[in-house]
Amino acid sequence: MKISDHRARAALVFLLAFLIIWSRATIRLEQGFLWAEDAPIFILQAHQLGLRAMLTNYAGYLHLIPRLIAETQRAILPLSSTPYFFVWCCAALTSGACAYIAFALRQVTPVTAAFMGLAPVLAPQNGEVLLSITYLQWVLLPALLVLLWEAIFGDQDRRPLPRAIAVGLLALTGPFGVLLVPAVAIAIALRRLRPRGGSINWPIVVTYFVAVAVQTLVMLRNPQDPKGVHDVPWLTWMIQAMFTDYLPSVLATTASGCLFAVLLIGVCVLSRARLVFACLFCFGVLLWGLGVTRVVPPVQIAWYGTGARYVYPWGIFMLWTLTLSIVNPGIKSLKPLAAVLIFLILLASGERFEAQLLQKWEILSSATSYHVTVPPGWSIDVAR
């Protein structure tokens, strides 16, 4: 298998991603997995509302892909298979997203594309977003970013219809499509200033904005109660969550975190990937800030603890931008430093990762209904 072949590289990354998922969450894949909202939001509403559940908001926005998974289970499979069907769908979609990232990034070396494709399963996380349809939107966010980048800056000779469908589904799954509108608008403006490189893939971009308009309308019609801005040490907490925590525990001190931040920002800013880093850094800070303001009472967010999903994308972004800094360095002598920073992040990921099963799911059947119990102690009754 030649990794320089795009399809072969995608197939290899799909396999490697799946093996990494299996090694990190073996129990979930073998014994099935359900978590919290999987039961009362996706399973129960799919059985109660049928296809109407597709347009039912949760947390103020649509979750189209998890709804499609739940509706497929309701339509063709027994309820007892749900924990296994959900987890294997998540594994396939996660591995597929990794494969597509590696397939789409043709402007970098094959090894670079493969590593960036694997970043979503290599980045530090505590298992919160792993193999759960409730948090599937977080795992698929990198694929949405690459699809939008490809539509604006990539080759335009690729078939737009499958990508347009994917962008539409992803933009209607979670709030990220809406949050990315400013960045997409800036990217389009930059692309229009340099028309010689090719044209924008407008069918994909238009599909994105239509999906975003629908999601925005849903969000406006279902506003969430604001949690308010807590009186917290913003800078200290941000450095801790976005830098210090990504060091191995033996090095995770405030001073080391500040040094890590300076080195990472310096390496990326001095590279030719500085604009990519600036956009992803701002987006990472935005997601972290949303997490801090949504947790009541205020607590420190950490990728291995409370609010882990809000900093999970930032781990991916760091791996991406440091990798691009090695490929396109502004100063070649900084390449070893970027490699060391990547090694430290991966070391922290391997050291603290733990995809706990927490509490075993349970499905009990009677003559008239199913009683479903999922961690952390939520339960529902579904009519037979």
> How far is the C-alpha of 277 from the C-alpha of 362, rounded, in Å?
44
Q: What is the pLDDT of residue 2?
A: 56
> How far is the C-alpha of 257 from the C-alpha of 239, rounded, in Å?
7
- Ordered by start, the domain boundaries in the chain are 1-224+357-384, 226-353
For 1-50, how does the pLDDT look when each residue is reduced to its tens digit (9 = 90+)?
556 688 899 999 999 999 999 999 999 999 999 998 999 999 999 999 99
> Contact at 8 Å (CB) between 248 and 344?
yes
Q: What is the pLDDT of residue 159?
A: 76
Q: What is the pLDDT of residue 3?
A: 64
Tell me the three-class secondary structure of the chain, residue by residue. CCCCCHHHHHHHHHHHHHHHHHHHCHHHHHHCCCCHHHHHHHHHHHHHHHHHHHHCCECCECEHHHHHHHHHHHHHCCHHHHHHHHHHHHHHHHHHHHHHHHHHCCCCCHHHHHHHHHHHHHCCCCCCCCCCHHHHHHHHHHHHHHHHHHHHHCCCCCCHHHHHHHHHHHHCECCHHHHCHHHHHHHHHHHHHCHHHCCCCHHHHHHHHHHHHHHHHHHHHCCCCCCCCCCCCHHHHHHHHHCHHHCCHHHCCHHHHHHHHHHHHHHHHCCCCHHHHHHHHHHHHHHHHHHHHHCCCCCCCCCCCCCHHHCHHHHHHHHHHHHHHHHCCCCHHHHHHHHHHHHHHHHHHHHHCCCCCCCCCEEEECCCEEEEEECCCEEEEEEC
For 203-250, how does the pLDDT look when each residue is reduced to its tens digit (9 = 90+)?
999 999 999 999 999 999 998 876 767 778 889 999 999 999 999 999
Q: What is the pLDDT of residue 191?
A: 86
Is the pLDDT at 307 greater than 70? The verdict is yes
Across 96-110, 228-242, 292-306, 343-357, the highest mean pLDDT is recorded for 96-110
Average pLDDT estimate for 169-187: 95
Confidence of residue 354 (pLDDT cuts 50, 70, 90): confident
Q: What is the pLDDT of residue 129?
A: 93
> How far is the C-alpha of 168 from the C-alpha of 68, rounded, in Å?
13
**167-181, 203-217, 280-294, 346-360: least confident range:** 346-360
> How far is the C-alpha of 140 from the C-alpha of 126, rounded, in Å?
17
**143-147, 252-256, 289-293: least confident range:** 289-293
**4-13, 130-139, 150-159, 260-269: least confident range:** 150-159
The CB-side HSE value for 302 (13 A sphere, CA atoms) comes to 18
Number of neighbouring beta carbons within 10 Å of residue 103: 22
Q: What is the pLDDT of residue 352?
A: 82
Q: What is the pLDDT of residue 33?
A: 92
Share of the chain above pLDDT 70, in %: 95
**38-52, 108-122, 151-165, 234-248: least confident range:** 151-165
**107-121, 152-166, 214-228, 329-343: least confident range:** 152-166
Burial of 133-164, coded b for 16+ CB within 10 Å and e otherwise, reads: bbbbbbbbbbbbbbbbbbbbbbeeeeebeebb
Cα 360 off chain centre by: 25
Share of the chain above pLDDT 90, in %: 75
User: Which of 356 and 310 is assigned the larger pLDDT?
Assistant: 310
> How far is the C-alpha of 42 from the C-alpha of 173, rounded, in Å?
13
> How far is the C-alpha of 25 from the C-alpha of 42, rounded, in Å?
22
Confidence of residue 367 (pLDDT cuts 50, 70, 90): confident
Is the pLDDT at 197 greater than 60? The verdict is no
